[in-house]
Structure 1
Amino acid sequence: MNQETIVSTRTDREIRKTIITPGDYNIVPYEDSRCRISLSDIVCKNDTGPCDIETECVILSSTFDGNVVIGDMDNFIDKDFELILQQMCCGETCLAKIVYRNNQNELVKEISCGIHLKDVTEEQLISDWSWNRLYEASIHHKEKGVQLVKEKRIFDAFRRFSKSFKMLVAIEPIDPEVIADEQVKEMTELRVKLYNNLAHCQLQFNEYEAALKLCSLALKNDPENIKSLYRRCIAYAGLHMYEEAWADIQHVLQIDPHDKAAKLKANELRPLIKKVNEDYSNVIKKMFIS
């Protein structure tokens, strides 16, 4: 049996593997490679003994079909398995161990199992993809992200939206002789949606400056976009920039006077903007008092 090696390590998690049977060193999975694997002797435990595996985990679930597309997983355990697979060779069998710890360095979970990488279908490098494939991949990751938001898995959704954006940017520079104007318009609309979705994720973690920048980028492409204006309003308010927040929410109400969320936000901001104006008036008055 070969010596145990470290696949990846950080303060809260360490991944190790030991090669049992070597594989073909000429075939190694990378981003978007399709892998067929089998698992054996799965053990999940903590200090008290056997423990449950996260329900969102696909690879260790009872319904797992043995197929993995590298880079297309969302659960943190699945993504750690992807890291292991990317350091395996086709045909290899290894013993893998993932150890998770909390901030006090206490054991949270330890997962161990045998992995047999049966087959790897090599894919083109992303840099060699056609614009059509990049665009389809961008839509795929965006839709996955939307579903994750519905499941309230915001961190995983942010990662999907980021990947979608990466695929979209990879199409640039756009060749007008290859990509028609209508398709360019669709790409711009997708870009705006991604900016908005990324901003939504940032707002869930009170990252107001990041959300503000994303919304402003969206508005450069679509100045009348209600979601961008509304979310930038929230970001401004979170940064106590109430006048800017008020301007954005009023812009929303000019576009759609019946927008319920905008009306509620305007009512919430009204006393704050009133105080800002009163404070400003008092400062001006003091300037002219002898």
Structure 2
Amino acid sequence: METSPVSLMKEKDTAQPQQREENAQRNLGAATQVRQQSLGPTPETLDLGVKADPASRSVENPPKFENPVAGFEGDADKCHVSTNAMADRLQASDLWYCPDGSFVKKIIVRGHGLDKPKLGSQCRVLALGFPFGSGMPEGWAELTIGIGRWREKTWGELTEKCLESMCQGEEAEIRLPGCSAPLVKLRLDSFTKGRDSWELDAVEKKALAKEEHARGTELFRAGNPQGAARCYGRALRLLLTLPPPGPPEQTILYSNLAACQLLLGQPQLAAQSCDRVLEREPGHLKALYRRGVAQAALGNLEKATSDLKKVLAADPQNRAAHEELGRVVIQGKKQDAGLARGLRKMFS
């Protein structure tokens, strides 16, 4: 039997893949050898007998933390705002606001010690910048807390309150609400020891209150209700520290204070002062009349009518009460007429 000849093409095709595989193995081995020569020994073959210390590695190569806020827009502005806020707080610490809101004290130079002037303290003061007609001395002056006519006008009262908040050696500016420009500069050079009102005995308090009462009446008769109100207020602050019910002078002081407050255009305060009088003496005619006037100014016509009728019931010849009641009646009729016109417009 003759065997069929083997095709040369098939032999070539069979040998060619084997040759390619052998060539690939040789190339891979050569590449591996070249790579090992270039990189040096592998970690497995490098054994020095010493292991790396993680702590030393962390010291030598400390981790770098990125700024958590870096890259956000407005970071610089935020830092700038916080700095300004800190500056504002530091500046605010140099300001002292009078509890009654009458002025603001800006501290220029801080004083030393903790003591401050009290009632009876003689203060050596350098004052500059008082407006003309204030009644306050310019330059160096000796001022006594709680004593003297220098306290009667507005600037005197403000200066006394400011001095009572200052320490020795302190320099400050007095600023009025709504006015940015400094008006007055004070320097408290020295002062003698004084006393708080609670350190005075009852006799001393009554004596000082009597002086304030007399001076207030003098100012009221001279046409100065503002100065009179300050004197009456200081007298009341002294007497209110006495055990209740207090001396009868409190009734007169509150009634006089209400008269001043009406002249100063303060009907709400006047009504409150009259309430204090009527709590002690319900039939006090002057307090009833002044409260009636205050209620009329506030538009409380029914309350005003009630108080004025009580006055006329006790004193039918009281001319002032008759006149005020007549004005209240006219004011009530005007209100009723206005209300009627408004109702007609609504339903027309």
Common topology (TM > 0.5)? yes
Q: How much does 1:230 deviate?
A: 0.9
Q: Secondary structure at the match of 1:171?
A: coil
In 2: Cα distance, 1:222 partner to 1:38 partner: 44
TM-score by length of 1: 0.64
Larger relative helix fraction: 2
Q: How much does 1:270 deviate?
A: 3.4
Q: Secondary structure at the match of 1:263?
A: helix
- Among 78, 95, 98, the alignment partner of 2:173 is 98
Partner residue, 2:189: 116
Q: 1:66 to 1:199 in 2, by over 3 A?
A: same
Partner residue, 1:169: 240
- Checking the alignment, whether the CA contact within 8 Å between 2:125 and 2:186 is kept in structure 1 is no
Higher RCO (CA-CA < 8 Å; seq separation 6+) = 1
| Unpaired segments ≥5 residues, structure 1 | 45-51, 175-183, 283-290
Q: How much does 1:102 deviate?
A: 6.3
- Among 134, 144, 162, the alignment partner of 1:68 is 144
Partner residue, 2:330: 271
Partner residue, 2:319: 260
The letter for the 2-side match of 1:270 is: V
Aligned residues: 242
Partner residue, 1:211: 270
> Superposition pairs for residues 169-248 of structure 1, below 5 Å?
169-173=240-244, 187-188=247-248, 190-204=249-263, 206-248=265-307
In 2: Cα distance, 1:127 partner to 1:85 partner: 16
Partner residue, 1:130: 201
Q: How much does 1:192 deviate?
A: 1.4
The letter for the 1-side match of 2:167 is: M
Larger relative strand fraction: 1
Q: Secondary structure at the match of 2:328?
A: helix
Partner residue, 2:122: 35
- Checking the alignment, whether the CA contact within 8 Å between 2:257 and 2:270 is kept in structure 1 is yes
The letter for the 1-side match of 2:233 is: S
The letter for the 2-side match of 1:253 is: L
In 2: Cα distance, 1:110 partner to 1:169 partner: 34
Q: How much does 1:207 deviate?
A: 4.1
Q: How much does 1:80 deviate?
A: 4.3
The letter for the 2-side match of 1:142 is: H
| Unpaired segments ≥5 residues, structure 2 | 1-90, 341-348
- Checking the alignment, whether the CA contact within 8 Å between 2:173 and 2:186 is kept in structure 1 is no
Task: Provide the alpha-carbon RMSD of the alignment.
Answer: 3.9
Partner residue, 1:139: 210
Q: 1:70 to 1:222 in 2, by over 3 A?
A: closer
The letter for the 1-side match of 2:329 is: R
> Superposition pairs for residues 144-155 of structure 1, below 5 Å?
144-150=215-221, 153-155=224-226
Q: 1:59 to 1:244 in 2, by over 3 A?
A: same
Could you list the runs of 4 or more consecutive aligned residues of structure 1 that deviate by over 6 angstroms after TM superposition? Answer: 274-279
In 2: Cα distance, 1:157 partner to 1:172 partner: 25
